Structure 1
Amino acid sequence: MQDVLIIGAGPCGLSAAIECGKRGLSTEIIDKHNLVHSIYLYPTHMQFFSTAEMLEIGDVPFALSNDKPYRDEALAYYRKVAEHYKLNISPYEEATSIEKLPDGTFRVHTRKRSGTESYREAKNVVISTGYFDHPNYIGIPGEDLEKVTHYFREAHPYAGMKTAIIGGSNSAVDAAMELIRVGAEVTVIYRGKEVSENIKPWVRPLFEAMVNKGRIKLHMESSVTEIRENSITIASQDGTEQFIENDFVLALTGFRPDRKLLASSGVELDEEMEKPRFNPETMETTVPGLYVAGVIASGRNANEVFIETGRIHGRLIAEHLVTKSS
């Protein structure tokens, strides 16, 4: 039986395993996907807003020639960290439920990619799952069409196509800039008065220049109300509607953490924000011995916890576990 079972092999889960291991606690990580799967799902050529230093875990330097790393560099870095610490990781094994046993330990029921069901037992459990498996759906007619995606990987498949982007965040702006480079006709639709104030400062002026030149058509204070095979309907706040020709829709409306595992384990949730109740000094939830780390500790706004903030959760957890056992 491990001292700590960590569910989720993202940067925050890796950090928790490292911090626990430094304090002599035995750990295992399980993940229904591969190592740092959320980063793997980022756009192929994405550059982080954060500096390399802010993404470091386990006191392993993230050495780069550039200040801000790209996706592939981050993938290589976290593989290096996992290898350096010889972390005990079982990929492609999903935690399906968490059971608190009479003696206070935990039994975590799992399912492997092959469908084989099993379980792990541990004295403590850390839930550090991500959110990319659960996009925020708009709930409009046509959203389930094959032409619609909530993920943007790279621009090539959309070359020369009439493409609409729903959203005004970094992901939407980055996608728009990549799409115009391959000759796509790009329309951005966003319900806000202006794109997010958190847009990367080195990208914003380039985006605004493309809008001013007409390379990107920007509809602010607007929303897509219907998606059809060859067109979309855009409604503005004053009630007017536009119908434009369209081949593909990128609904980049963000993602949300999955709460089912937390709820099944008996953790109390804040009803308004769907946020787990936990002690911010220890990250322990209302179920003794069950902790949260990373974005799963956030509310509906998954952007309130980033790698640079979530990476410290592991240290808080490890220190609390050592204190409890002493």
Structure 2
Amino acid sequence: MSATILDVVIVGAGPIGIACALECEKNNVSYLVLEKGALTNSLFNYPLNMSFFSTSEKLEIDEIPFISSNAKPNRNDALEYYRRLVTSNKLKINLYEKVLSVKKIESVFLIASESESYHATNVIIATGFYDIPKLLNIPGENLPKVSHYYKEAHPYSLQNIIVVGASNSAVDAALEIWRKGGKVTMIVRGASIGERVKYWVKPDIENRIKEGSIKAYFNAEVSKIEESEVVIQTPEGEVIINNDYVLALTGYRPNFEFLIAMGIKLSKENMIPEYNNVTMESNVKGLYLAGVICGGTETHKWFIENSRIHARKILNDIVLKL
């Protein structure tokens, strides 16, 4: 067990966790970042060919230039940028060290990971939301052919694929797989493709559906997944579709159980944690929230572009207290 009491422990080494570490460096605040996976683990797990909605300057941290040869930077551009931020500034980050619990004992937090324990007077939670899929909760969802994540199209070439969802991830997967020779059927709960789909992609998917290249069932839901078929419910009744693989890309959610265990209060309606908008401090004194974790189930409200400022808000408050 570490005997040193750090000023700050940051949980999560995504872009916002990195931004918090940079602010700690600038303010001579002792800190450590703990990350359960790879550096920027969520970005690493994005599809290989994913492009951001935002331009590169809107993804910059601490006004350090993000140079990209693409108008919309892609996954590899972002991985390179954030990695260089970490290595160039020699940020203190422990990777592949999952935090199991955060407990406040009097005025000090005890942070227990899989391999070590740490003490800190302040903790910043910047864990994002990409680790826990929103499940369909239907029979057959645990079959090996079902995945809640999409990496690349090649494994699905010449296969019958069902893509569940109509957000950016679902649309990108459907288009890529179709272009690699997969037979794609989309199952969409609503009446149309999602309004937040990237503006340069939305016409593409709508035209592919209109011409019949990609089959889409709207106002429909999957009711059962079997070895070689999928059963869906549509306004016209039950439909059975021959199927090899299912990509259930219905979104993800933060680890609310982790927040509750730390004593953070969540709203009943949308699980938004209680925090001060000015300082980002939660209802637990010394425990701060940064990034998309602040949005509860409304994971579309906070992203890199508009939550970069959280790091500065938090460190401004912490420095005043030290």
Q: Give the TM-score normalised by the residue count of structure 1.
A: 0.95
More deviation in 127-136 or 161-170?
127-136
Residues 1:35 and 2:32 are matched in the alignment: no
Q: What is aligned with 1:9?
A: 13
**CA shift digits 1:70-123 (9 cap, x unpaired):** 101100000011112210000111111112122x01110110xxxxx3201111
Which structure 2 residues correspond to residues 183-194 of structure 1 after superposition, within 5 A? 183-194=181-192
What amino acid is the match of 1:28? L
Which structure 2 residues correspond to residues 59-98 of structure 1 after superposition, within 5 A? 59-98=63-102
Q: Distance in 1 between matches of 2:149 and 2:288?
A: 29
Q: What is aligned with 1:114?
A: none
Residues 1:279 and 2:282 are matched in the alignment: no
Q: CA RMSD in A?
A: 1.1
- 1:239 deviates by 5.5
What amino acid is the match of 1:49? F
Q: Distance in 2 between matches of 1:164 and 1:250?
A: 6
Q: Which stretches in structure 1 are left out of the alignment for 5+ residues? A: 112-116
Q: Is the 8 A contact 1:58 1:81 kept in 2?
A: no
Which structure 2 residues correspond to residues 39-58 of structure 1 after superposition, within 5 A? 39-58=43-62
What amino acid is the match of 1:83? T
Q: Is the 8 A contact 1:176 1:186 kept in 2?
A: yes
Which structure 2 residues correspond to residues 147-166 of structure 1 after superposition, within 5 A? 147-166=145-164
Q: Distance in 2 between matches of 1:180 and 1:275?
A: 37
Q: What is aligned with 1:265?
A: 262
Q: What is aligned with 2:251?
A: 254
What amino acid is the match of 1:272? E
- 1:125 deviates by 0.4
Q: How many residues align?
A: 318
Q: Report the 3-state secondary structure (helix = DSSP H, G, I; strand = E; otherwise coil) of the residue aligned with 2:158.
A: coil
Q: Is the 8 A contact 2:193 2:206 kept in 1?
A: no
Residues 1:107 and 2:110 are matched in the alignment: yes
- 1:130 deviates by 2.1
- 1:323 deviates by 2.1
Q: Report the 3-state secondary structure (helix = DSSP H, G, I; strand = E; otherwise coil) of the residue aligned with 1:66.
A: coil
What amino acid is the match of 2:244? D
Q: Which stretches in structure 2 are left out of the alignment for 5+ residues? A: none
Q: Is the 8 A contact 2:11 2:34 kept in 1?
A: yes
- 1:216 deviates by 0.2
More deviation in 149-158 or 80-89?
80-89
Q: What is aligned with 2:119?
A: 121
**CA shift digits 1:123-163 (9 cap, x unpaired):** 11001112222000010111111110000000000000000
Q: Is the 8 A contact 2:193 2:202 kept in 1?
A: no
Q: Distance in 2 between matches of 1:260 and 1:204?
A: 35
- 1:291 deviates by 0.3
What amino acid is the match of 1:228? E
For 1:321, which of 315, 318, 322 is the aligned residue? Answer: 318
Q: Is the 8 A contact 1:20 1:315 kept in 2?
A: no
**CA shift digits 1:3-51 (9 cap, x unpaired):** 1110000001110111122122111100111110000110011111111
- 1:209 deviates by 2.0
Q: Is the 8 A contact 2:187 2:217 kept in 1?
A: yes
What amino acid is the match of 2:122? N
What amino acid is the match of 2:262? S
Q: Distance in 2 between matches of 1:79 and 1:192?
A: 38
Q: Percent identity among equivalent residues?
A: 44
Q: Is the 8 A contact 2:163 2:187 kept in 1?
A: yes
Q: Which runs of 4+ in 1 moved over 6 A?
A: none
Which structure 2 residues correspond to residues 298-313 of structure 1 after superposition, within 5 A? 298-313=295-310
**CA shift digits 1:190-228 (9 cap, x unpaired):** 011111111112112221221122110011111111111
Q: Distance in 2 between matches of 1:285 and 1:19?
A: 19
What amino acid is the match of 2:303? F
Q: Distance in 1 between matches of 2:259 and 2:239?
A: 43
Q: Is the 8 A contact 1:161 1:184 kept in 2?
A: yes
Which structure 2 residues correspond to residues 233-248 of structure 1 after superposition, within 5 A? 233-236=231-234, 238=235, 240-248=237-245
Q: Is the 8 A contact 1:36 1:78 kept in 2?
A: yes
Q: What is aligned with 1:224?
A: 222
Q: Distance in 1 between matches of 2:34 and 2:237?
A: 50
Q: Report the 3-state secondary structure (helix = DSSP H, G, I; strand = E; otherwise coil) of the residue aligned with 1:276.
A: coil
